[in-house]
């Protein structure tokens, strides 16, 4: 059961990050309502998986899952706060590109912490994520 829940979180995280990246690359203004619904849907899936993990435990895995949940939530808020806005003569995307790049750069460390905590619980010896 735990493994399935952990996989659900990782899959939801990957889908959320993929959609966030897509919005950043396409820079739609205004954003289609369907794109916003999809963004919320993926964030909700991460939240649902995190809730299950927080109930199932153990605490170290729940804390690592919470970090993933918070990271995805912050990235979604960043995207939503930027859509359709501008700063002076630059698009808001250009103005906040460094924040987005840092968020993307932080993803592997947060994922690694979760995977390592989950491996301890599951007794797994999988290769390190790339």
Give the DSSP letter string of 45-82: HHHHHHHHHHHH--HHHHHHHHHHHHHHHHHHHHHHHH
pLDDT, tens only, 3-45: 899 999 999 999 999 988 888 777 656 666 777 788 889 999 9
| Residue 90 pLDDT | 55
Whether the predicted pLDDT of 75 surpasses 60: yes
Residue 78 burial (CB count, 10 A): 15
Q: When comparing pLDDT for 128 and 62, which is higher? A: 62
Distance CA 127, CA 113 (A): 14
pLDDT value, residue 128: 57
The larger pLDDT score, comparing residue 26 to residue 55, is at 55
Domain boundaries, the chain: 2-122
- Residues 6 or more apart whose CB falls under 8 angstroms from that of 71 comprise 103, 106, 107, 110
Residue owning tokens 């808001």:
92
- pLDDT of residue 78 exceeding 90: no
Instruction: Give phi and psi for 96, each to the nearest 5.
Output: -115, 20
> What is the percent of the chain with per-residue pLDDT over 70, rounded to a whole number?
79
Between 116 and 35, name the one with better pLDDT.
116
Instruction: Give Cβ neighbours of residue 112 (< 8 Å, ≥ 6 apart).
Output: 128, 129
């Amino acid at each position: 059961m735990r493994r399935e829940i952990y996989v659900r979180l990782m899959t939801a995280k990957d889908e959320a990050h993929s959609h966030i990246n897509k919005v950043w690359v396409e820079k739609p203004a205004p954003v289609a309502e369907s794109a916003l619904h999809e963004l919320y849907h993926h964030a909700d899936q991460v939240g649902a998986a995190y809730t299950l993990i927080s109930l199932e435990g153990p605490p170290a895995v729940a804390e690592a899952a919470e970090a993933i949940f918070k990271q995805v939530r912050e990235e979604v808020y960043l995207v939503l706060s930027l859509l359709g806005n501008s700063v002076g003569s630059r698009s808001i995307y250009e103005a906040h590109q460094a924040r987005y790049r840092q968020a993307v750069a932080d993803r592997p460390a947060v994922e690694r912490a979760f995977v390592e905590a989950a491996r301890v619980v599951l007794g797994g010896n999988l290769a390190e994520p790339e």
